[in-house]
Amino acid sequence: MGITDILALLGGLALFLHGMQMMSSGLEAAAGNRMKNILEKLTANRFLGVLVGAAITAVIQSSSATTVMVVGFVNAGMMTLNQAVWIIMGANIGTTVTGLLIALDVGELAPFFAFIGVALMVFVKDPKLQHIGQILAGLGVLFLGMGMMSDAMVPLRESESFISLMSTFSNPILGILAGAGFTAIIQSSSASVGILQALANSGVIGLSSAVFVLFGQNIGTCITAVLASIGTNRNAKRTTIIHLMFNIIGTIIFTILFLLFPIALVIDGTLVLQGGLGSFLSNVLPGTPAGQIALVHTSFNILTTLLLLPLGNYLAKLTVRILPEHVQEHEEGGTMRLEYLAPVSASGKEGGLGLSAIVVDQLRNELHRMLDMARDNVEAGFEAVLARDPGKLEDVEQREEYIDFLNREISRYVSHLISIETNEQDSRVVSSFFTISGNIERIGDHADNLAGYTKMLVAKNIKLSPIAQKEVEKMRDVSLEAVTTLLDRQAGGPEWLVDVAQIEQKIDDMTDEYRRSQLIRMRDGVCSDEACILYSELLTDFERIGDHVLNIAQELTKARTSLY
């Protein structure tokens, strides 16, 4: 194998992987949020869940992408662990489509797909058609790369050292480890199976070795979901365990069957699987090495799903035993952490189909949590002033630090997401959430200011007049009403925005009224100089809270409009 063949092999691999990335990006831009809605709504029934998981994965040609989406949904509380089981089973079936297309030699049409796709991307102005063009171009590039790899590996048939290496994979353990390791590195079972088919088509690896590598590839594809689960809650981590268990159980079963029982026979170089499914597939697929591998891959995932389908709920229960609940996980105190979002450092730098669709819900939940803390601080801040109690300061300051932490992490996450986002609709939504996070942090600052006034009240023995006390009580009530309105899960509608705007206007009117009342008290000598200065600052914080509430409401309405 000369330098030219090596360069052709590397170039073919690059085209293959880039084609898959183009398809994924095009699908994300065209239908990421729509796929999220399908997965979210059609998973209550186990059979329907399997079908939905298989269909979506067949379209996006990546079980990893589907599983990462499911991990996100479980982490965001939008999907139960039991529902996730069915989607994962279906995803393992859907991922066989790439291998089937390669086996059917659709690659002959690769130049045509690439030409049509590029033409749509370059000459058509409609964004939707451009996204479709990106998908078609990606498909064409994928198969062009596949052809280059197959041609480049033909000389390896004459290499005794390479043939010796491939023959070691007939050892089940070595073959499984090799397949799992390679797939974990490139994080795509579709790509690794395609490469295995290219090796087989070139005659450098036989079926007896390839099947064990294939089983390992099904295990290695779980690495993407494992990485996606870093920093998520325990249910999301259990979802990745289910994915691993599915493929490990299937690998154990099929390895034993291939070693002990003649369920697969090679007759005149053609694979023949015994049984109804095997007979059907062997009649549909060509008897090429790529067809043989596609046949085993499809059978592996369909039969494993049929075996484990009645046991899905038990798999979910088993993961709870493997990864039991921690009491500390639900305690608000202790180390500051993101509840729904994975930290940016753990989420990786790559995007992926459905990423923004998942993050929209995760961000919403994280912001809701952050806003709830800000509301508690607003209430505690006013109460501290009314009671002249500095003892409340410590709790307020701790929550304020937590709010600052959440704002910083959410801002980093949104900045990271926007840098890789291809879906304009979801990009607008997460941009709104970025603005919302900043406004919540400012509400927290003003609440912290309110609580801080108690130090001056006590240190200088400042006492508010009875009238001022009554006004502060009313400010507290209206501020809590405003912030609580934002916590409504149905927030974002036009009528709701009008209600919030009316509350904000009420805050402005109250601020003007109370300033006039303060001037009267100053004129009558009821209010001391220091008390007047402090009260004036308090009114400013009150008014600013209303402004930030309205800003948040406007951004929530923008986000809701973009989504629906």
Asked if the structure places residue 289 within a domain, the reply is yes
By the 8 A CB rule, do 147 and 18 touch? no
Residue among 197, 300, 310 at smallest CA distance from 247: 300
Whole-angstrom Cα distance, residue 125 to residue 128?
9
Supply φ then ψ for residue 272, to 5 degrees: -125, 115
Query: Are residues 318 and 361 part of one domain?
Result: no
Asked if the structure places residue 344 within a domain, the reply is no
- What pLDDT shows up at residue 328? 40
Look-up: residue for tokens 């036989």? 206
Asked if the structure places residue 318 within a domain, the reply is yes
By the 8 A CB rule, do 29 and 423 touch? yes
Residue among 179, 189, 229 at smallest CA distance from 92: 189
Q: Give me 513's structure tokens.
A: 């009224």
Query: Are residues 519 and 470 part of one domain?
Result: yes
| H-run or E-run covering 383 | helix 355-387
By the 8 A CB rule, do 63 and 175 touch? no
Query: Are residues 387 and 513 part of one domain?
Result: yes
Asked if the structure places residue 505 within a domain, the reply is yes
Least confident of 89-93, 344-348, 433-437: 344-348
- What pLDDT shows up at residue 1? 56
180-236 pLDDT, tens digit per residue, is: 888 777 666 777 777 777 777 777 677 777 888 888 888 887 876 777 676 666 777
Asked if the structure places residue 331 within a domain, the reply is no
Greater confidence (414 vs 325) lies with 414
Query: Are residues 311 and 386 part of one domain?
Result: no
Least confident of 284-293, 294-303, 519-528: 284-293
Asked if the structure places residue 515 within a domain, the reply is yes
Query: Are residues 159 and 233 part of one domain?
Result: yes
| H-run or E-run covering 264 | strand 264-267
Domain end (from 278, 307, 322): 322
Question: Structural domain of residue 299, as residue ranges?
Answer: 3-322
Asked if the structure places residue 343 within a domain, the reply is no
Query: Are residues 82 and 162 part of one domain?
Result: yes
Q: Check which CATH number belongs to the domain holding 546 and give it.
A: 1.20.58.220
* Number of structural domains found in the chain: 2
Query: Are residues 106 and 174 part of one domain?
Result: yes
Query: Are residues 493 and 437 part of one domain?
Result: yes
The amino acid present at 161, given as its one-letter code, is S
3-state secondary structure 62-84: CHHHHHHHHHHHHHCCCCCHHHH
Query: Are residues 382 and 294 part of one domain?
Result: no
- Where does the pLDDT of residue 353 fall: very low under 50, low under 70, confident under 90, or very high at 90 and above? very low
Least confident of 136-150, 471-485, 506-520: 136-150
Residue among 133, 142, 61 at smallest CA distance from 107: 142
Whole-angstrom Cα distance, residue 299 to residue 536?
75
By the 8 A CB rule, do 299 and 273 touch? yes
- Where does the pLDDT of residue 480 fall: very low under 50, low under 70, confident under 90, or very high at 90 and above? very high
By the 8 A CB rule, do 207 and 266 touch? yes
The amino acid present at 452, given as its one-letter code, is G
Whole-angstrom Cα distance, residue 287 to residue 407?
58
Domain end (from 301, 322, 343): 322
Look-up: residue for tokens 């229960």? 317
Query: Are residues 175 and 318 part of one domain?
Result: yes
Whole-angstrom Cα distance, residue 243 to residue 239?
6
Helix, strand, coil % over all residues of the chain, rounded to 5: 80, 0, 15
Domain end (from 306, 322, 338): 322
Q: Give me 352's structure tokens.
A: 């992926």
DSSP 266: E
110-166 pLDDT, tens digit per residue, is: 788 888 888 988 888 887 788 888 878 887 887 787 677 667 766 655 666 666 666
% the chain with pLDDT above 70: 72
Query: Are residues 497 and 375 part of one domain?
Result: yes
Average per-residue pLDDT for the chain: 77
% the chain with pLDDT above 90: 16
Query: Are residues 410 and 293 part of one domain?
Result: no
348: left (phi over 0), alpha (psi -120 to 50) or beta: left
Q: How far apart are the first and last CA of the chain?
A: 56
Asked if the structure places residue 257 within a domain, the reply is yes
79: left (phi over 0), alpha (psi -120 to 50) or beta: beta
